[in-house]
């Protein structure tokens, strides 16, 4: 699939400012931005982090929370 040929679509979710740390739009912001910029490699790296974080939430929620906060703070 040539991703540069695909159309984009709008999301219908609450504003990021209204979302908690583990809500979808906030967690996937970096993936979305990388895709908008056509950077598939960067999007893939961010996606891997988010998926790892979700798995870690099941095993050790406190540690996952700490990692999430650090990750989000690094992105601002």
Q: Summarize pLDDT for 12-62 with one digit per residue, the tens.
A: 778 888 888 778 888 888 999 999 999 999 999 999 988 888 888 788 888
Among 57, 12, 61, 51, residue whose Cα is nearest residue 30:
51
Domain-located, residue 9: no
| Whether pTM exceeds 0.75 | no
Domain-located, residue 6: no
Rounded to whole angstroms, how far apart are CA atoms 11 and 4?
19
Higher pLDDT residue, 14 or 74?
14
Domain-located, residue 10: no
Domain-located, residue 15: no
In contact, 47 and 24? CB cutoff 8 Å: no
Tell me which residue range forms the domain holding 46: 21-74
């Amino acid at each position: 699939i040539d991703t540069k040929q695909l159309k984009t679509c709008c999301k219908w979710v609450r504003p990021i400012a209204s979302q908690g740390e583990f809500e979808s739009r906030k967690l996937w912001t970096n993936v979305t931005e990388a895709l908008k910029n056509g950077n598939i490699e960067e999007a893939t790296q961010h996606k891997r982090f988010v998926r790892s974080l979700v798995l870690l939430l099941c095993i050790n929620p406190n540690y996952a929370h700490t990692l999430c906060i650090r990750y989000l703070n690094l992105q601002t």
